[in-house]
Amino acid sequence: MIRFNRPYMTGTELSSIAQAHQNGHLSGDGPFTRECHAWLRERTQAKTALLTHSCTAALEMAALLLRLEPGDEVIMPSYTFVSTASAFALRGAVPVFVDVRSDTLNIDEALIEQAVTAKTKAICVVHYAGVSCEMDEIMAIAQRHGLRVVEDAAQGIMSSYRGRPLGTIGDLGAFSFHETKNIISGEGGALLCRDEEYGEAAEIIREKGTNRSRFFRGQVDKYTWVDVGSSYLPGEITAAFLSAQMQHAEAITQRRLAIWDQYHTWAQKHEESGRLRRPVIPAHCTHNAHMYYMLMPSLEHRTRFIDGLKERGVQAVFHYIPLHSSPAGMECGRAQGDLPVTNDVSERLVRMPLWLGLEPEMGHVLRSADEAIEEAFA
């Protein structure tokens, strides 16, 4: 079976881990963590970059940093992973679900303003498939209404919007290094703070609410409890693995893009014959080939296509169940309108295998997909 995902390892992770072992520093914020922080700051120009044990943790930190209180509202798409909403709901905030654009499947910026109320505190955007939301319009809306912007850039490392790295356009950004993402450490993530404003508070929240980081920099002579917080930092073994991946980030992205392009070229004939719709990459965005998805004409076509691929040993999968119609989403959130695009695309979207090492199998994958499409439309 050609699996939907296989984590890619560069081969240098083990020597990094051996080095961490030798360093004898296993808890967080050792030399490998510092190396990852420097890489992230350099690549993104964020003022502060902090490794976390997941993107979920980074989003939870964002919710704490915004000092959200019960009843505060956060506008976000419904077509996303649960953590986008759960991180804010944990603080008692209300996720307000807005529909997505039918081209990029990102939050529809034209619908955001109608969802703003006196209780709205923030907008949390999600860059689906590593393709940017319309950030200029979204930042302008935030400015008009005095809102903060958090970017769930879990899928967005190495992607950009008008030349700017995703995760650093809003006030706060969150990356994921989960093994299903492009750059990985098993479980892992990072919080980015665009300006100085949140940097120090973020360090404190990540270190159980203490000023331990200031203490280690010699800025205070003892460390103490100064705020609420939790333990959001990964250990050095994880950071060692991640630092090896980061050194190959450019090459990983290029190889992923080559596979993505192969799918895109292949799918053109099927798009022209009206059997599927290919992903849309706006001209002002560069992407990281996080995902190759296609939209089939109906749920029935998608089911037949996925089944046909499975019979040929290829695993393709659908994606999110919309959060606004999930049990927890209905309990703690609110939908802005009927979200017709979200409801529609969630039934029609299919994702193809995309991982490094798939290259020699692509002939088989594409032939199988041609056959499965013929069957799906028979």
Binding site for ligand PLP (CB under 6 A): 54-56, 80-81, 83-84, 126, 152, 154-155, 176, 178, 189
Q: What is the nearest approach in angstroms of ligand PLP to the Cβ of residue 210?
A: 24
Minimum CB separation from ligand PLP for residue 126, in Å? 5
**Judged by CB, which is closer to ligand PLP: 55, or 314?**
55
Give one word for 306, left, alpha or beta, with left for phi > 0 and alpha for psi -120 to 50.
alpha
- Rounded CA separation 79/104 (Å): 11
CA atoms within 13 A on the CB side of 290: 27
Rounded to whole angstroms, the Cα distance separating 172 from 194 reads 6
Interatomic CA distance for residues 369 and 353, integer angstroms: 11
Q: Output the smallest distance, CB 305 to ligand PLP, in A.
A: 23
- The minimum distance between CB 200 and ligand PLP, in angstroms, equals 24
* Closest CB to ligand PLP among residues 275, 351: 351
Q: Which is nearer to ligand PLP, 154 or 350 (CB)?
A: 154
Find the shortest distance in angstroms from Cβ 154 to ligand PLP. 3
What does the alpha-carbon distance between residue 163 and residue 149 come to, in Å, rounded to a whole number? Answer: 19
- DSSP label at residue 9: -
Residue 191 or 295: the one with the smaller Cβ distance to ligand PLP is 191
Shortest distance in whole angstroms from residue 233 CB to ligand PLP:
14
Which residue, 33 or 80, is less far from ligand PLP as judged by CB? 80
* Residue placing its CB nearer to ligand PLP in the complex, 105 or 376: 105
SS3 160: strand
Cα–Cα–Cα angle for 58, 62, 65, rounded to 5 degrees? 135
CA distance 127 to 154: 8
Counting DSSP H helices and E strands in the chain, the numbers are 13, 13
